[in-house]
Structures are given as C-alpha cells and as structure tokens.
C-alpha cells in the first residue's frame, strides 16, 4: 500500500502526486496541517519535511528520492530516462529546478499571501481534518510569524527570489527552444519537477486545489510579466497530468 503524507498546497508534494498519477499507481493521501504536521511526521522520520511516501514498511522522504524509489520499485511508465546521458541530464534539471524554482516560488508567493489568511487558510486546510479551519484561525498569527522566519521572508529576499525565478524561467525558455520536453524526446521527471514547481504561478486545475478568484496584485503582475514564457507549464499539465 502506498501512502503519501502531504500538504495539498505544497508544490513539492504536487511533484509526487503527479509522479504517482502518471505511473498509474493507487495511493492514499494523508493531508497534514502545516505547523501541526510534526506530530505525525515525527513518528515516521526525524526531519519534518513533506512529501513523505510510505510503502508497506518503507518510508521515503524528499521528492527526488521518492521518484527514484518509485521508478526502481514500479518500473512501468518510467520517469527517469534509461540512457545514462539523458538520465544525468534529467537529474541535473530536477536538481536545478528544485533549488532555483521550488524554494524561490514558495518564498516569493508566501511573501504576499501570508497577509491574506482568507486565501492561505483554505490552502492549508484543503481536504484536511474537520478541525483544520478553526485550529488554523486560532494559530494563524503564530504560524505566519514562524513561516516568515523559516522561509527567510523580507523585502530584500523577496526581490532576490523574484530574480532567481525569472532567471530560471529564462534558462528553461532558452533551453527548450519550443521543444515539448526538457530532456530528449520524452516526458520525464525533469518536466514534472519544473512544471509542478512553477504551477503555483499558473494555477492549473489539475493541481487539485481551489485557487482563489483573485490574488494579491504583485503576484498577478509577476504572472502577467512572465507571459507566454511559462505557457509550456499549462501545456504539460493538459498533456500529461
């Protein structure tokens, strides 16, 4: 049995939901509440980071290790290219986007979103336990403070993150030259990683979250500025998600 411990809002968790769905694997999700997730994760691992995949009695943490594990254990519909050179390229892209897009999209978005509990609380409690909303409402000010500190949110870092995201998108744009995929001619873990980690800026329906009708203006502006440079994310979502 496969169980994914996750936050529905987390783009690293979306990377794994997508990988599991793409490989047509049956799994159940345990949606945890940010801040309170440690009560659950500490029973499984020493580090509280999600996603965590539990398969029978094996516990795998870190999205890249989870995809390794899935491809080794369930080789059908592989996400890791077989050919050594292409495999290395896919792993390099995945590592690059995990660091240059994942961390910075999260910091950049939360730097605005945290001022809007009406948006963030539904994200954090989506398909979670019944007591999620009242608990979140009560602890939101403390959680917001903790997130500002752990994500190192300040005006300078927000500007830095914006630049890092733009640079990474430009690098991908130049590399793709209109190709469908990042590596070779097939869909791979590199595409899932890049598209899932950029998804909060494109808000695709298949992410599985109820996106807000309106979001903070600076985020809208950033998305507008990126324009068609990230159209490929929506294309990958409609073709492979």
Ligand X SMILES: N[C@@H](CCC(=O)N[C@@H](CS)C(=O)NCC(=O)O)C(=O)O
Shortest distance, CB of residue 176 to ligand X, whole angstroms? Answer: 22
Complex with ligand X: residue 51 or 122, whichever CB lies closer: 51
Complex with ligand X: residue 7 or 232, whichever CB lies closer: 7
Binding mask 92-131 for ligand X (x = CB under 6 A): ------x-------x-------------------------
Complex with ligand X: residue 46 or 174, whichever CB lies closer: 46
- The answer to whether 69 and 55 have CB atoms below 8 angstroms apart is yes
The C-alpha atoms of residue 229 and residue 202 are separated, in whole angstroms, by: 11
Write the CA distances from 215 to 77, 133, 199, integer angstroms. Answer: 36, 20, 15
Stretch that binds ligand X, among 60-68, 168-176, 178-186, 208-216 (CB under 6 A): 60-68
Which residues fall within 8 angstroms of residue 128, CB to CB, at 6 or more apart?
8, 31, 32, 33
Complex with ligand X: residue 9 or 236, whichever CB lies closer: 9
Residues binding ligand X: what is the number (CB under 6 A)?
12
Q: Is 50 in the site for ligand X (CB under 6 A)?
A: yes
Complex with ligand X: residue 51 or 204, whichever CB lies closer: 51
User: Phi/psi at 31 (nearest 5 deg)?
Assistant: -85, 115
Shortest distance, CB of residue 66 to ligand X, whole angstroms? Answer: 7
Collapsing DSSP states into helix, strand and coil, what is residue 180? Answer: coil
Shortest distance, CB of residue 178 to ligand X, whole angstroms? Answer: 28
The C-alpha atoms of residue 95 and residue 92 are separated, in whole angstroms, by: 5
Give 61's strand partners: 52
Tokens representing 62 are 């870190």
Binding mask 124-163 for ligand X (x = CB under 6 A): ----------------------------------------
Alpha helices (H) in the chain, listed in sequence order: 11-22, 38-41, 63-73, 84-97, 103-113, 117-125, 132-150, 155-176, 189-202, 217-226, 231-240
Residues 5-44 that bind ligand X (CB under 6 A): 7, 10, 12
Residues that bind ligand X (CB under 6 A): 7, 10, 12, 48-51, 62-64, 98, 106
């Amino acid at each position: 049995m496969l169980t994914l411990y996750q936050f529905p809002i987390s783009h690293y968790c979306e990377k794994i939901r997508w990988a599991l769905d793409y490989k047509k694997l049956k799994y159940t999700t345990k949606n945890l509440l940010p801040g309170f997730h440690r009560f659950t994760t500490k029973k499984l691992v020493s580090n509280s980071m999600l996603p965590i995949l539990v398969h029978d009695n094996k516990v795998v943490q870190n999205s890249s290790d989870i995809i390794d594990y899935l491809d080794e254990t369930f080789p059908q519909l592989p996400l890791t290219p077989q050919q050594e050179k292409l495999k290395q390229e896919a792993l390099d892209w995945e590592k690059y986007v995990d660091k240059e897009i994942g961390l910075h999209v999260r910091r950049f978005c939360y730097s605005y979103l945290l001022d809007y509990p009406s948006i963030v609380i539904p994200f954090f409690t989506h398909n979670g336990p019944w007591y999620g909303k009242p608990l979140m409402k009560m602890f939101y000010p403390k959680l917001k403070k903790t997130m500002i500190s752990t994500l190192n949110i300040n005006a300078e870092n927000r500007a830095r993150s914006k630049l890092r995201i733009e640079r990474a998108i430009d690098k991908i744009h130049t590399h793709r030259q209109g190709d469908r995929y990042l590596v070779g001619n097939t869909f791979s873990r590199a595409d899932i990683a890049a598209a899932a980690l950029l998804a909060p800026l494109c808000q695709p329906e298949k992410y599985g979250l109820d996106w807000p009708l309106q979001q903070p203006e600076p985020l809208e502006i950033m998305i507008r500025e990126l324009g068609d440079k990230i159209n490929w994310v929506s294309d990958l979502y409609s073709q492979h998600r």
